[in-house]
Amino acid sequence: MTTHLPITPGWTCGGCGADWPCHTRRRELRAEYDRAPVSLALYLAAQLVDAAEDLGHVPAGHLHHRFLGWTR
């Protein structure tokens, strides 16, 4: 079980305090969804929608890069 879960409404990592998903959580998610990249993208897109509600002051492009841009 990971400690690198999002702490809302700031969307920081509960394990290390970095912006979520942090580098550790990204590595964990890549391993967890190794053979299901579309499922990973759908999960992160849902998280992005939730984060956008809490982080309205953050530009949409930044949130897209933060949540989905690293998955390619």
Residues 10-32 pLDDT 10s: 999 999 999 999 999 999 999 99
pTM over 0.85: yes
User: Phi/psi zone of residue 22: left (φ > 0), alpha (ψ -120 to 50 degrees), beta?
Assistant: beta
Decide: 12 and 6 in contact? Cβ < 8 Å. Answer: yes
Tell me the two tokens of residue 29: 């998610």
Choice between 5 and 72, residue whose per-residue pLDDT is larger = 5
Span 60-70, average pLDDT: 97
Predicted confidence band of residue 53 (pLDDT cuts 50, 70, 90): very high
Span 35-59, average pLDDT: 97
Helices (H), 1-72: 23-32, 37-54, 60-67
Dihedral Cα 15, 45, 57, 19, nearest 10 deg: 20
